[in-house]
Amino acid sequence: MSTASDRPVIGFVGLGHMGGAMAARLLGAGYEVHGTSRTRARAEELIAAGLRWVDGADQLAKTADVLITSIPDDAALQLVADSITPALSGGQVWIDMSTVSPQASREVADRVLAAGAEFLDAPVSGSVPQVRAGTLTIMVGGDETAYHRVEAVLGELGRPTYIGGNGQGLALKLGINISLAVQVLAMAEGLLLAERSGVDRELALRVMTASPIGSPMLQAREPLLLDLPDEAWFDIRLMQKDLVLALETGRTLAVPLPTATSADEILTLARALGYERRDIAGVFEVLQRLSRH
Ligand SMILES: NC(=O)c1ccc[n+]([C@@H]2O[C@H](COP(=O)([O-])OP(=O)(O)OC[C@H]3O[C@@H](n4cnc5c(N)ncnc54)[C@H](OP(=O)(O)O)[C@@H]3O)[C@@H](O)[C@H]2O)c1
């Protein structure tokens, strides 16, 4: 199955925003990439760039050494697992780079291990620009030897770090995304307070992001907080999906998540006001609309 250069053949499932960009990067790095997704039309550019299309994830389990999935949620992961797992011949490593619940991921890991293959959760922090630049933060859970077998592949996409057993990459990813939501919300609150006190919004933002609370993420979002674009970098719907996964995990482990709970409520409100597909910086406009003018 390996290519002449002895690099593993990659089988990709889910060629959307993230998966499509990852497959393109691996093709660009010289890997042989086979792939499938729900909608073939979305993959035409990749096929033109050399991706070998197959009909169905089960086909990939027969031709690829390393399977990579980048799919929306637990339900999609279970569907794909139903297709892939019976077709595994053993020895392959399946890397799931989706953001799903640690519990669903561990359940799939058990099935894959029972079929004689390896399963790693490898969720990412960063978006399409970071995939293209190869600078994703990648947190990996699962067997450490299996991780080392695919470290070079993950290294093409970003900076992978081995975290621990199955589900632990995801637990850390959910932890990071609590801060993503809460930081944006706290910044929006402070900014509105300053603006309604008469401070110019642009000036307030510049000083706030240059102050000790200006994380790299908040610094990058400065233009979006000034003028919310139509095209999201990371939309409110996906942000809430991750917060809900964190809240469910917190409930299971009896870990209170008070700021994640507040942020979740504001995201529900944002969706009710029509901001579902807008960037998370849209919480500033939501608070503006709720406050006295
Ligand atoms: N976008 C980001 O910035 C970002 C950042 C970090 C993590 N993530 C996570 O990465 C994952 C992918 O996100 P994304 O933004 O790339 O989403 P996306 O653009 O919606 O891509 C998901 C892809 O999976 C395909 N798919 C869905 N169900 C499938 C199935 N059963 N079998 C095969 N293919 C299936 C979809 O097909 P269709 O084309 O038919 O919809 C789509 O191409 C998510 O878990 C997300 O939370 C995203």
Q: For residues 45 and 111, state if they share a domain.
A: yes
Query: What pLDDT does 68 receive?
Result: 98
Give the residues across from 120 on adjacent strands: 95
Is residue 262 assigned to a domain? yes
Pairing of strands 124-125, 136-141: antiparallel
Query: What pLDDT does 127 receive?
Result: 86
What's the mean pLDDT when you consider all of the chain? 96
CB burial of 96-123 (b: ≥16 within 10 Å; e: otherwise) equals bbbbbbbebbbbbbebbeebebbbbbbb
Task: Tell me the pLDDT band of 188, cut-offs 50, 70 and 90.
Answer: very high
Using CA atoms, how far apart are residues 23 and 95, in angstroms rounded to an integer? Answer: 13
Both structure tokens of 274: 């029509």
Query: What pLDDT does 90 receive?
Result: 86
pLDDT digits over 158-182, tens only? 999 999 999 999 999 999 999 999 9
pLDDT digits over 274-287, tens only? 999 999 999 999 99
Tell me which residue of 218, 245, 9 sits closest to 123, measured CA to CA. Answer: 245
Is residue 2 assigned to a domain? no
Residue 4 has pLDDT above 60, yes or no: no
pLDDT above 70: percentage of residues in the chain: 98
Both structure tokens of 246: 């964190």
Is the C-beta atom of 76 inside 6 A of ligand 1?
A: yes
Task: Tell me the pLDDT band of 293, cut-offs 50, 70 and 90.
Answer: confident
pLDDT digits over 118-144, tens only? 999 999 999 888 999 999 999 999 999
How many angstroms is it from 227 CA to the middle of ligand 1? 27
Site to probe by mutation for ligand 1, drawn from 238, 245, 276, 277 as the one with most ligand atoms within 8 Å of Cβ, is: 238
Decide which of 120, 140, 164 is a domain's last residue: 164
Average pLDDT over residues 80-96: 95
pLDDT digits over 242-251, tens only? 999 999 999 9
Residue 3 has pLDDT above 60, yes or no: no
Both structure tokens of 202: 């642009």
What is the tally of structural domains in the chain? 2
Is the C-beta atom of 75 inside 6 A of ligand 1?
A: no
Query: What pLDDT does 2 receive?
Result: 52
Residue type, 22: M
Using CA atoms, how far apart are residues 41 and 27, in angstroms rounded to an integer? Answer: 18
Average pLDDT over residues 242-263: 97
R_g of the chain computed on alpha carbons: 20
Helix (H, G, I), strand (E, B) or coil at 69: strand
pLDDT digits over 29-51, tens only? 999 999 999 999 999 999 999 99
How many angstroms is it from 266 CA to the middle of ligand 1? 24
Query: What pLDDT does 81 receive?
Result: 98
Q: For residues 140 and 282, state if they share a domain.
A: no
Tell me which residue of 64, 65, 62, 44 sits closest to 53, measured CA to CA. Answer: 44
Is residue 5 assigned to a domain? no
Tell me which residue of 151, 124, 157, 123 sits closest to 21, measured CA to CA. Answer: 157
Decide which of 140, 164, 188 is a domain's last residue: 164
Residue corresponding to tokens 């619940």: 101
Which residues span the domain enclosing 233? Answer: 171-292
Is residue 3 assigned to a domain? no
Decide which of 134, 164, 194 is a domain's last residue: 164
Residue corresponding to tokens 């500033």: 284
Residue 238 to residues 100, 111, 115, 148, 177: CA-CA distances in angstroms? 11, 27, 32, 30, 11
Is the C-beta atom of 177 inside 6 A of ligand 1?
A: no
Contact 70, 18 (CB under 8 A): yes
Average pLDDT over residues 53-61: 95
Query: What pLDDT does 1 receive?
Result: 55
Is residue 209 assigned to a domain? yes
Residue 51 to residues 12, 19, 69, 196: CA-CA distances in angstroms? 9, 12, 15, 53
Residues written for the chain: 293
Residue 110 has pLDDT above 80, yes or no: yes
Active site residues: 173
CATH code assigned at 132: 3.40.50.720
Residue corresponding to tokens 């589900």: 167
Classify burial at 145, counting beta carbons within 10 Å of its beta carbon; exposed 0-12, middle 13-18, buried 19 or more.
exposed
Is residue 245 assigned to a domain? yes
Using CA atoms, how far apart are residues 136 and 122, in angstroms rounded to an integer? Answer: 11
Residues 6+ apart with CB under 8 A from 21: 128, 131, 132
Query: What pLDDT does 292 receive?
Result: 83
